[in-house]
Amino acid sequence: MNEFLPFVRPHIDEAAIAAVGEVLRSGWITSGPRVQEFEKQLSEYFGGRPVRTFNSGTCTMEIALRIAGIGPGDEVITTPISWVATANVILEVGATPVFADIDPVTRNIDLGKVEAAITPKTRAIIPVYLSGLPVDMDRLYDIARRHKLRVVEDAAQAIGSNWRGKRIGSFGDFVSFSFQANKNLTTSEGGCLVLNNLDEARLAEKYRLQGVTRSGCDGMEVDVLGGKFNMTDIAAAIGLNQLPQLEAITARRHQLARHYFATFGADFEKQTGVQLPMADFRQSNWHMFQIVLPEGIVRAGFMEKMKAHNIGCGVHYPAIHLFRLYRERGFHEGMFPIAESVGRRIVTLPLFPAMTDTDVERVCAAVREALKN
Protein backbone atom coordinates (compact mmCIF):
# COMPACT_ATOMS: atom_id res chain seq x y z
CA MET A 1 0.00 0.00 0.00
CA ASN A 2 1.30 3.46 -0.91
CA GLU A 3 1.83 5.94 1.92
CA PHE A 4 -0.97 8.40 2.65
CA LEU A 5 -1.04 11.36 0.29
CA PRO A 6 -2.75 14.38 1.91
CA PHE A 7 -4.51 16.99 -0.20
CA VAL A 8 -1.90 19.51 0.97
CA ARG A 9 1.38 19.55 2.85
CA PRO A 10 3.13 22.79 3.91
CA HIS A 11 6.45 23.48 2.21
CA ILE A 12 8.81 24.09 5.17
CA ASP A 13 12.53 23.56 4.66
CA GLU A 14 15.45 23.31 7.08
CA ALA A 15 16.35 26.97 6.55
CA ALA A 16 12.89 28.01 7.80
CA ILE A 17 13.24 25.76 10.82
CA ALA A 18 16.65 27.27 11.57
CA ALA A 19 15.23 30.81 11.18
CA VAL A 20 12.51 30.05 13.73
CA GLY A 21 15.18 28.71 16.08
CA GLU A 22 17.11 31.96 15.75
CA VAL A 23 14.01 33.95 16.69
CA LEU A 24 13.35 31.78 19.71
CA ARG A 25 16.95 32.18 20.87
CA SER A 26 16.84 35.95 20.31
CA GLY A 27 14.39 36.53 23.15
CA TRP A 28 12.12 38.66 20.91
CA ILE A 29 9.35 36.38 19.76
CA THR A 30 6.35 38.68 19.32
CA SER A 31 6.08 41.51 16.76
CA GLY A 32 9.54 42.90 16.16
CA PRO A 33 12.32 43.21 13.57
CA ARG A 34 11.27 40.12 11.54
CA VAL A 35 7.73 41.48 11.15
CA GLN A 36 9.11 44.83 10.01
CA GLU A 37 11.40 43.16 7.48
CA PHE A 38 8.63 40.87 6.22
CA GLU A 39 6.32 43.87 5.69
CA LYS A 40 9.13 45.68 3.84
CA GLN A 41 9.72 42.74 1.51
CA LEU A 42 6.00 42.22 0.92
CA SER A 43 5.64 45.91 0.05
CA GLU A 44 8.44 45.54 -2.51
CA TYR A 45 6.75 42.43 -3.91
CA PHE A 46 3.48 44.34 -4.33
CA GLY A 47 5.08 47.25 -6.16
CA GLY A 48 5.74 49.55 -3.20
CA ARG A 49 2.21 49.60 -1.79
CA PRO A 50 1.87 49.79 2.02
CA VAL A 51 1.51 46.31 3.56
CA ARG A 52 0.73 45.35 7.15
CA THR A 53 0.86 41.80 8.52
CA PHE A 54 -1.61 40.16 10.90
CA ASN A 55 -2.23 36.89 12.71
CA SER A 56 -4.80 35.74 10.14
CA GLY A 57 -6.19 36.42 6.72
CA THR A 58 -9.61 36.89 8.30
CA CYS A 59 -9.00 39.92 10.49
CA THR A 60 -7.40 41.57 7.46
CA MET A 61 -10.79 41.72 5.74
CA GLU A 62 -12.58 42.88 8.89
CA ILE A 63 -10.03 45.67 9.36
CA ALA A 64 -10.33 46.71 5.70
CA LEU A 65 -14.09 47.05 6.16
CA ARG A 66 -13.57 49.10 9.33
CA ILE A 67 -11.05 51.39 7.61
CA ALA A 68 -13.63 51.89 4.83
CA GLY A 69 -16.17 52.95 7.45
CA ILE A 70 -18.56 50.11 6.71
CA GLY A 71 -20.97 49.12 9.49
CA PRO A 72 -24.64 48.86 10.49
CA GLY A 73 -27.07 49.72 7.71
CA ASP A 74 -24.55 48.95 4.97
CA GLU A 75 -24.61 46.02 2.54
CA VAL A 76 -21.58 44.13 1.25
CA ILE A 77 -21.82 41.78 -1.73
CA THR A 78 -19.81 38.55 -1.78
CA THR A 79 -19.83 34.97 -3.04
CA PRO A 80 -21.56 31.98 -1.42
CA ILE A 81 -18.58 29.73 -2.31
CA SER A 82 -15.75 30.58 0.03
CA TRP A 83 -14.50 29.84 3.52
CA VAL A 84 -17.23 31.15 5.82
CA ALA A 85 -14.88 33.85 7.17
CA THR A 86 -15.50 35.89 4.01
CA ALA A 87 -19.11 36.46 5.03
CA ASN A 88 -18.53 36.39 8.79
CA VAL A 89 -16.38 39.53 8.68
CA ILE A 90 -19.33 41.42 7.19
CA LEU A 91 -21.42 40.41 10.20
CA GLU A 92 -18.53 41.30 12.53
CA VAL A 93 -18.68 44.96 11.49
CA GLY A 94 -22.48 45.01 11.77
CA ALA A 95 -23.14 45.16 8.04
CA THR A 96 -25.42 42.91 5.98
CA PRO A 97 -23.99 40.23 3.68
CA VAL A 98 -25.57 40.02 0.22
CA PHE A 99 -24.67 37.01 -1.91
CA ALA A 100 -24.43 36.79 -5.68
CA ASP A 101 -24.32 33.43 -7.44
CA ILE A 102 -21.18 32.09 -9.08
CA ASP A 103 -20.01 31.49 -12.62
CA PRO A 104 -20.11 27.71 -13.31
CA VAL A 105 -16.81 27.72 -15.23
CA THR A 106 -14.55 29.84 -13.01
CA ARG A 107 -16.54 29.07 -9.81
CA ASN A 108 -15.89 32.68 -8.82
CA ILE A 109 -18.60 35.25 -8.17
CA ASP A 110 -20.58 36.17 -11.29
CA LEU A 111 -19.90 39.89 -11.79
CA GLY A 112 -23.10 40.31 -13.79
CA LYS A 113 -25.06 39.10 -10.77
CA VAL A 114 -23.00 41.37 -8.53
CA GLU A 115 -24.16 44.41 -10.47
CA ALA A 116 -27.76 43.22 -10.33
CA ALA A 117 -27.51 42.91 -6.53
CA ILE A 118 -26.37 46.50 -5.93
CA THR A 119 -28.81 48.66 -3.97
CA PRO A 120 -28.58 52.16 -2.45
CA LYS A 121 -27.26 50.47 0.71
CA THR A 122 -24.39 48.67 -1.02
CA ARG A 123 -21.01 49.97 0.14
CA ALA A 124 -18.51 47.29 -0.87
CA ILE A 125 -17.78 44.10 -2.80
CA ILE A 126 -15.70 41.20 -1.49
CA PRO A 127 -14.71 39.01 -4.46
CA VAL A 128 -12.94 35.72 -3.75
CA TYR A 129 -10.31 34.21 -6.06
CA LEU A 130 -11.14 30.52 -5.64
CA SER A 131 -8.07 28.29 -6.01
CA GLY A 132 -6.08 31.42 -6.86
CA LEU A 133 -7.99 32.24 -10.08
CA PRO A 134 -8.81 35.98 -10.25
CA VAL A 135 -12.12 37.39 -11.39
CA ASP A 136 -12.16 39.78 -14.35
CA MET A 137 -10.36 42.60 -12.54
CA ASP A 138 -11.09 45.21 -15.19
CA ARG A 139 -14.81 44.56 -14.97
CA LEU A 140 -14.73 44.36 -11.16
CA TYR A 141 -13.17 47.78 -10.78
CA ASP A 142 -15.35 49.28 -13.48
CA ILE A 143 -18.40 48.21 -11.47
CA ALA A 144 -16.85 49.59 -8.27
CA ARG A 145 -16.05 52.95 -9.87
CA ARG A 146 -19.46 53.40 -11.46
CA HIS A 147 -21.29 52.60 -8.22
CA LYS A 148 -18.75 54.26 -5.88
CA LEU A 149 -18.03 51.05 -3.97
CA ARG A 150 -15.00 49.94 -2.01
CA VAL A 151 -13.44 46.60 -2.93
CA VAL A 152 -11.93 44.23 -0.36
CA GLU A 153 -10.28 41.52 -2.43
CA ASP A 154 -10.33 38.18 -0.62
CA ALA A 155 -7.10 37.07 -2.25
CA ALA A 156 -6.45 34.57 0.55
CA GLN A 157 -5.54 31.89 -2.01
CA ALA A 158 -4.06 34.12 -4.69
CA ILE A 159 -0.51 35.13 -3.77
CA GLY A 160 1.53 34.60 -6.92
CA SER A 161 -1.50 35.02 -9.18
CA ASN A 162 -1.77 37.87 -11.66
CA TRP A 163 -4.23 39.71 -13.87
CA ARG A 164 -2.92 40.31 -17.38
CA GLY A 165 0.65 40.28 -16.11
CA LYS A 166 0.07 42.48 -13.04
CA ARG A 167 0.47 40.77 -9.68
CA ILE A 168 -2.67 40.46 -7.60
CA GLY A 169 -2.05 42.91 -4.77
CA SER A 170 0.03 45.33 -6.82
CA PHE A 171 -3.07 47.30 -7.85
CA GLY A 172 -6.67 47.79 -6.80
CA ASP A 173 -8.21 48.76 -3.46
CA PHE A 174 -7.77 46.66 -0.28
CA VAL A 175 -6.19 43.25 -0.98
CA SER A 176 -6.19 40.58 1.73
CA PHE A 177 -3.92 37.52 1.68
CA SER A 178 -3.81 34.48 3.96
CA PHE A 179 -0.62 32.75 5.08
CA GLN A 180 -2.44 29.89 6.80
CA ALA A 181 -0.80 26.45 6.76
CA ASN A 182 -2.45 25.33 3.49
CA LYS A 183 -1.56 28.42 1.48
CA ASN A 184 1.11 28.67 -1.24
CA LEU A 185 3.11 30.94 1.07
CA THR A 186 2.65 30.08 4.75
CA THR A 187 3.70 31.57 8.07
CA SER A 188 1.86 28.70 9.87
CA GLU A 189 -0.97 31.14 10.57
CA GLY A 190 -1.16 34.74 9.46
CA GLY A 191 -2.00 37.11 6.67
CA CYS A 192 -1.38 40.56 5.26
CA LEU A 193 -3.40 43.49 4.01
CA VAL A 194 -2.27 45.63 1.09
CA LEU A 195 -3.49 49.19 1.55
CA ASN A 196 -3.79 52.33 -0.54
CA ASN A 197 -1.80 54.87 1.48
CA LEU A 198 0.05 55.46 4.73
CA ASP A 199 -3.01 56.91 6.49
CA GLU A 200 -4.84 53.62 5.95
CA ALA A 201 -1.72 51.72 7.05
CA ARG A 202 -1.51 53.67 10.30
CA LEU A 203 -5.17 53.02 10.99
CA ALA A 204 -4.64 49.32 10.27
CA GLU A 205 -1.83 49.32 12.85
CA LYS A 206 -4.24 50.73 15.44
CA TYR A 207 -6.92 48.17 14.66
CA ARG A 208 -4.47 45.26 14.93
CA LEU A 209 -3.28 46.19 18.44
CA GLN A 210 -6.05 47.53 20.70
CA GLY A 211 -6.25 50.92 18.98
CA VAL A 212 -2.99 52.01 20.56
CA THR A 213 -0.74 54.76 19.24
CA ARG A 214 2.61 55.22 21.01
CA SER A 215 4.75 58.36 21.11
CA GLY A 216 8.06 59.12 22.76
CA CYS A 217 9.26 56.92 25.62
CA ASP A 218 5.98 56.69 27.52
CA GLY A 219 3.26 58.31 25.41
CA MET A 220 0.20 56.21 24.66
CA GLU A 221 -3.21 57.05 23.20
CA VAL A 222 -6.24 54.99 22.17
CA ASP A 223 -8.80 56.56 19.84
CA VAL A 224 -10.33 53.54 18.04
CA LEU A 225 -11.57 50.18 19.27
CA GLY A 226 -8.91 47.73 18.12
CA GLY A 227 -8.25 44.03 18.71
CA LYS A 228 -5.28 41.70 19.12
CA PHE A 229 -4.30 40.76 15.60
CA ASN A 230 -0.53 41.25 15.38
CA MET A 231 1.82 38.78 13.68
CA THR A 232 4.72 37.33 15.66
CA ASP A 233 8.39 37.35 14.66
CA ILE A 234 8.21 33.55 14.71
CA ALA A 235 5.62 33.59 11.93
CA ALA A 236 7.41 36.36 10.05
CA ALA A 237 10.65 34.34 10.06
CA ILE A 238 8.86 31.55 8.19
CA GLY A 239 7.40 34.06 5.74
CA LEU A 240 10.79 35.63 5.08
CA ASN A 241 12.05 32.17 4.15
CA GLN A 242 9.05 31.45 1.93
CA LEU A 243 8.78 34.67 -0.06
CA PRO A 244 11.98 34.19 -2.15
CA GLN A 245 10.75 30.69 -3.04
CA LEU A 246 7.29 31.79 -4.15
CA GLU A 247 8.07 31.92 -7.87
CA ALA A 248 9.48 28.37 -7.82
CA ILE A 249 6.55 27.14 -5.71
CA THR A 250 4.09 28.61 -8.22
CA ALA A 251 5.97 27.13 -11.17
CA ARG A 252 5.90 23.66 -9.63
CA ARG A 253 2.17 23.96 -8.95
CA HIS A 254 1.67 24.83 -12.62
CA GLN A 255 3.63 21.74 -13.64
CA LEU A 256 1.54 19.49 -11.39
CA ALA A 257 -1.72 21.01 -12.63
CA ARG A 258 -0.68 20.50 -16.24
CA HIS A 259 0.13 16.89 -15.44
CA TYR A 260 -3.34 16.43 -13.93
CA PHE A 261 -4.95 17.59 -17.18
CA ALA A 262 -2.64 15.44 -19.30
CA THR A 263 -3.18 12.35 -17.14
CA PHE A 264 -6.96 12.69 -16.98
CA GLY A 265 -6.97 13.14 -20.75
CA ALA A 266 -9.04 15.17 -23.17
CA ASP A 267 -12.13 12.93 -22.95
CA PHE A 268 -12.24 12.60 -19.16
CA GLU A 269 -15.09 15.04 -18.60
CA LYS A 270 -17.22 13.48 -21.36
CA GLN A 271 -16.52 9.95 -20.11
CA THR A 272 -17.22 10.60 -16.43
CA GLY A 273 -19.34 13.73 -16.11
CA VAL A 274 -16.73 15.23 -13.80
CA GLN A 275 -16.04 18.96 -14.27
CA LEU A 276 -12.35 19.80 -14.21
CA PRO A 277 -11.18 23.29 -13.20
CA MET A 278 -10.68 26.05 -15.72
CA ALA A 279 -7.27 25.46 -17.32
CA ASP A 280 -5.82 28.92 -16.68
CA PHE A 281 -2.02 28.83 -16.83
CA ARG A 282 -1.54 32.56 -17.39
CA GLN A 283 -3.10 34.07 -14.28
CA SER A 284 -3.83 31.42 -11.63
CA ASN A 285 -1.26 30.31 -9.02
CA TRP A 286 -2.95 26.87 -8.85
CA HIS A 287 -3.52 26.99 -5.12
CA MET A 288 -5.89 24.03 -5.45
CA PHE A 289 -6.92 21.51 -8.10
CA GLN A 290 -10.68 21.09 -7.67
CA ILE A 291 -13.11 18.85 -9.50
CA VAL A 292 -16.90 18.90 -9.40
CA LEU A 293 -18.42 15.44 -9.19
CA PRO A 294 -21.34 14.48 -11.45
CA GLU A 295 -24.86 14.58 -10.04
CA GLY A 296 -25.71 11.28 -8.39
CA ILE A 297 -22.25 10.68 -6.94
CA VAL A 298 -22.32 11.04 -3.15
CA ARG A 299 -19.29 13.14 -2.23
CA ALA A 300 -18.72 11.52 1.16
CA GLY A 301 -18.71 8.09 -0.45
CA PHE A 302 -16.28 9.25 -3.13
CA MET A 303 -13.96 10.68 -0.49
CA GLU A 304 -14.09 7.44 1.51
CA LYS A 305 -13.09 5.52 -1.61
CA MET A 306 -10.19 7.90 -2.17
CA LYS A 307 -9.16 7.43 1.45
CA ALA A 308 -9.19 3.66 0.90
CA HIS A 309 -6.57 4.34 -1.78
CA ASN A 310 -4.60 6.30 0.87
CA ILE A 311 -5.38 9.64 -0.77
CA GLY A 312 -6.77 12.61 1.11
CA CYS A 313 -9.27 15.06 -0.36
CA GLY A 314 -10.72 18.35 0.85
CA VAL A 315 -14.02 20.22 0.55
CA HIS A 316 -13.62 23.89 -0.42
CA TYR A 317 -16.39 24.94 0.08
CA PRO A 318 -20.01 24.27 1.09
CA ALA A 319 -22.32 27.15 0.19
CA ILE A 320 -22.13 29.71 3.01
CA HIS A 321 -25.76 30.78 2.89
CA LEU A 322 -26.93 27.28 3.81
CA PHE A 323 -25.14 27.25 7.17
CA ARG A 324 -27.53 27.69 10.11
CA LEU A 325 -26.05 31.08 11.01
CA TYR A 326 -27.12 32.38 7.61
CA ARG A 327 -30.39 30.45 7.33
CA GLU A 328 -31.43 32.23 10.53
CA ARG A 329 -30.91 35.49 8.63
CA GLY A 330 -33.34 34.50 5.90
CA PHE A 331 -31.19 32.65 3.38
CA HIS A 332 -32.47 29.32 2.07
CA GLU A 333 -31.99 26.67 -0.59
CA GLY A 334 -32.79 27.69 -4.13
CA MET A 335 -31.51 31.25 -3.83
CA PHE A 336 -28.15 30.61 -5.54
CA PRO A 337 -28.55 27.37 -7.47
CA ILE A 338 -25.14 27.24 -9.16
CA ALA A 339 -23.30 27.80 -5.88
CA GLU A 340 -25.50 25.24 -4.14
CA SER A 341 -24.84 22.62 -6.81
CA VAL A 342 -21.09 23.24 -6.84
CA GLY A 343 -20.96 23.41 -3.04
CA ARG A 344 -22.50 19.91 -2.79
CA ARG A 345 -20.16 18.33 -5.34
CA ILE A 346 -16.79 20.09 -5.25
CA VAL A 347 -13.72 18.11 -4.14
CA THR A 348 -10.13 19.28 -3.73
CA LEU A 349 -7.50 16.83 -4.95
CA PRO A 350 -3.91 16.76 -3.65
CA LEU A 351 -1.66 19.53 -4.96
CA PHE A 352 1.53 20.72 -3.25
CA PRO A 353 5.12 21.26 -4.43
CA ALA A 354 6.61 18.10 -2.87
CA MET A 355 4.29 15.90 -4.96
CA THR A 356 5.78 13.93 -7.83
CA ASP A 357 4.30 13.33 -11.26
CA THR A 358 3.78 9.74 -10.13
CA ASP A 359 1.66 11.02 -7.24
CA VAL A 360 -0.56 12.85 -9.73
CA GLU A 361 -0.95 9.72 -11.80
CA ARG A 362 -1.86 7.77 -8.67
CA VAL A 363 -4.54 10.33 -7.77
CA CYS A 364 -6.02 10.27 -11.28
CA ALA A 365 -6.19 6.47 -11.26
CA ALA A 366 -7.87 6.52 -7.85
CA VAL A 367 -10.44 9.10 -9.03
CA ARG A 368 -11.41 6.89 -11.95
CA GLU A 369 -11.70 3.88 -9.66
CA ALA A 370 -13.74 5.80 -7.06
CA LEU A 371 -16.21 6.93 -9.73
CA LYS A 372 -17.12 3.35 -10.63
CA ASN A 373 -20.44 1.91 -9.46
Which of the residues are catalytic? 183
Q: Beta-carbon neighbour count of residue 186 at 10 Å?
A: 21
Cβ-contact 65, 95 below 8 angstroms:
yes
Query: Which residues does 112 contact at the CB level (< 8 Å), separation at least 6?
Result: none
Strands 96-99 and 75-78, bridge-based pairing: parallel
Of the candidates 141, 148, 179, the residue with the CA atom closest to the CA atom of residue 163: 141
Cβ-contact 252, 353 below 8 angstroms:
yes
Cα 51 to Cα 42, 174, 281, 345: the distances in Å are 7, 10, 27, 36
DSSP summary character for residue 279? -
Cβ-contact 343, 244 below 8 angstroms:
no
